[in-house]
A = this chain, B = another copy of it.
Amino acid sequence: MADIDPNKSVGIVAEQFVALFSPPNELVLDNGEKLGPITLAYETYGRLNAKKDNAILILHALSGDHHAAGFYTPDDRKPGWWDLYIGPGKAFDTDKYFIICSNCIGGCRGSTGPASIDPRTGKPYALSFPFITIHDMVKAQKGLIEHLGIKKLLAVAGGSMGGMQALEWAVSYPDMIAAAIPVATTANHSAQNIALNEVARQSIIADPNWKQGDYYDSEPPARGLAVARMVGHISYLSDQAMHEKFGRRLQDREVVSFDLLTDFQVESYLHYQGNAFTQRFDANSYLYISKALDYFDLKGKSDTLAQGLRHVKARFLVLSFSSDWLYPPYQSREIVKALKQNGLSVSYCEIKSEYGHDSFLLDNPQQIRLIRDFLHHVSEEVQSNAA
């Protein structure tokens, strides 16, 4: 543990799991089906105070998981995905706040999803897993928060799909959160967003190893999933970021050899990312979660987004990135406008960055400062209201 500085890192952390919604108290999903028991995987950093009013829920993106900070072993080189933001003295300051990062149902990283064993059959759910929505994910997370004895969260924060969940928390449980920090996200998917996801899904479905989702005792549809991941990666980076990172440089050779095999570096990178992804992600989970993203519509059954947000009480910090073409700033501005139409307290910043959608994961001093100051302000307000 020589390399892990306890003044800068939450240190060694462990996954936790909770079983919720056991029959006969199953979770009733948006499509009417019941799901239970449900396992949720999560991690926590920092300590819950006596009043239990310093808890912040952090939610991850499509391909992320609940390992948001720290290391699993002393030799672990790769910290959690938001380690730059979570830790002692960091934006999500673990000296002050109790941070919970929850996985989502439908996934494949320890929470109940299509690869889980269906207790009724003793076999993996596969496509018999019920259709789930972002709202369903949030309902399951509420079970976790209640299990932890927390009545009201100081904040809910997340980027990309995590940001949609943060928004959904604000709509579904307005009395359970004081603040929300949706980052690099959208109130609903554009046609282009849906189209990109559909290419990914078709790539998985076209893989003969997919077998209508029934592949858990055979070779998984790794080639299809790898191509799906490649599509995703392109949408997470900007043209400019790819230019700076790879340009037109060749892999393993100096000059173009005019054959079908010569690789540009950007191709090798995508191959690597695609293949690595198949080692840690389940193709059916990709189908379910990407559909949940496409169906997400924050306005719900209301005619307008402003109407859909009429019960929201939280104060907001909304962040977007100038070069994010997956969820461009205009999508964040729509959210901000609708929140303001409801008279809510909203801070918004379009952060200038050349690194595209993935900017929210990178070391961005402006994002760090904005989140830190916002949480400080919310925390003080909660303390003074309680006093």
Contact = CB atoms under 8 A, between A and B. Distances in A.
Contact of A203 (B30, B192, B195, B227): B227
A258 B295 contact: yes
Nearest to A191: B242
A17 interface: no
A127 to B, nearest CB: 7
Interface residues of A, number: 57
Q: Can you tell how many copies of this chain the complex includes? A: 2
Given A198-B266, A227-B203, A131 B294 contact: no
B227 A259 contact: no
A297 interface: yes
Contacts of A194: 248, 264, 266-267
Interface string A189-221: 111101110110011001110000000000000
Contacts of A369: none
A115 to B, nearest CB: 15
A133 interface: yes
Nearest to A29: B258
B266 A195 contact: yes
Contact of A31 (B192, B198, B234, B258): B258
Contacts of A127: 260
Nearest to A287: B260
Interface in A218-259: 223-224, 226-227, 230-231, 233-234, 237, 239, 242-243, 245-248, 256-259
A246 B198 contact: no
B203 A266 contact: no
Contact of A239 (B188, B245, B267, B328): B328
Interface string A273-314: 010000000000001100100110100000000000000000
A325 interface: yes
Given A259-B31, A259-B131, A295-B256, A234 B196 contact: yes
Contact of A288 (B230, B260, B270): B260
Tell me which of A191, A239, A264, A328 has the highest count of chain B C-beta atoms within 10 A of its own C-beta: A191
Given A202-B227, A258-B131, A239 B190 contact: yes
B264 A234 contact: no
Tell me which of A195, A248, A325 has the highest count of chain B C-beta atoms within 10 A of its own C-beta: A195
A257 B33 CA distance: 12
Contacts of A191: 239, 242-243, 245-248, 264, 266
A201 to B, nearest CB: 9
Given A194-B264, A195-B230, A325-B325, 5 more contacts: A131-B260, A188-B248, A198-B270, A206-B227, A258-B295
25 contacts: A31-B258, A31-B259, A131-B259, A191-B242, A192-B242, A192-B243, A194-B248, A194-B266, A195-B230, A195-B233, A195-B234, A195-B242, A195-B266, A195-B270, A196-B234, A198-B266, A199-B230, A199-B231, A202-B223, A202-B230, A203-B206, A206-B207, A239-B328, A260-B291, A325-B325
Q: Report the 3 A-B pairs with minimum CB-CB distance, sorted nearest first.
A: A31-B258, A191-B242, A206-B223
